[in-house]
Amino acid sequence: MSVKFRNVEASPADDVRSWPYEALVAVVDRGLVADWKPVFDEIRRSPWGSVARRVERYLSYRARDGIGVLFALAIERARTRSDESDRADVAAQIRAAVERSGLTNAQFAELVGTSASRLSTYLSGKVTPSAALLLRIERAASRSPLPDRSGNEARRKGPA
């Protein structure tokens, strides 16, 4: 690193999460690309963590220039990627729950109190269910199948 910290008890070699606010400001203002790397790495690792929040706070009153835009975009993109990853994880969790249940998608949707088309949006990750519905989905995955309209147990998918 080429940036030197002044008037702070930290070193650029320390973990970026341990840097005081003034050290982050120094790196943003006076650092070079190599100096920014640990900050960007931490923002990608934890988009809502303390480093991202402190950089965001500084950018809120710092003069807007290309460097500020670069850091703001890094935070925005890291958060977008994190959201996309979380949506994919929730969709995978729902797909696994439907599979564990042994029911068809339509039967499972009925069991948890939603429509088959809405369940499809959850399975694709396009829409995420509420926390309450996600809990119902998990509970339903371990229950026995619903009886059909004639009172017989609903058929599970797969070989007989």
Calculate ∠ Cα 154-156-160, nearest 5°: 115
Is residue 24 scored above 90 in pLDDT? yes
Q: What is the mean pLDDT of residues 21-29?
A: 95
Q: Which domain holds residue 45?
A: 16-62
Contact criterion met (CB below 8 Å) for 156 and 102 = yes
Report if residue 155 sits inside a domain.
no
**Same-domain status, 96 and 128:** yes
Report if residue 154 sits inside a domain.
no
Is residue 156 scored above 80 in pLDDT? no
2 or 55: whose pLDDT is higher? 55
Dihedral angle computed from the Cα positions of residues 71, 76, 79 and 83, in that order, rounded to the nearest 10 degrees: -160
Q: What is the mean pLDDT of residues 115-131?
A: 95
| pLDDT tens by residue, 32-91 | 999 999 999 999 999 999 999 999 999 999 999 999 999 999 999 999 999 999 999 999
The reported pTM is 0.78
Overall domain count for the chain = 2
Among the listed residues 41, 30, 42, 39, the one whose alpha carbon sits nearest the alpha carbon of residue 4? 30
**Same-domain status, 53 and 92:** no
Residue 44, pLDDT score: 98
Count Cα neighbours of 83 within 13 Å in the Cβ-side half-sphere.
10
Calculate ∠ Cα 156-120-95, nearest 5°: 55
Contact criterion met (CB below 8 Å) for 108 and 101 = yes
Residue 142, pLDDT score: 85
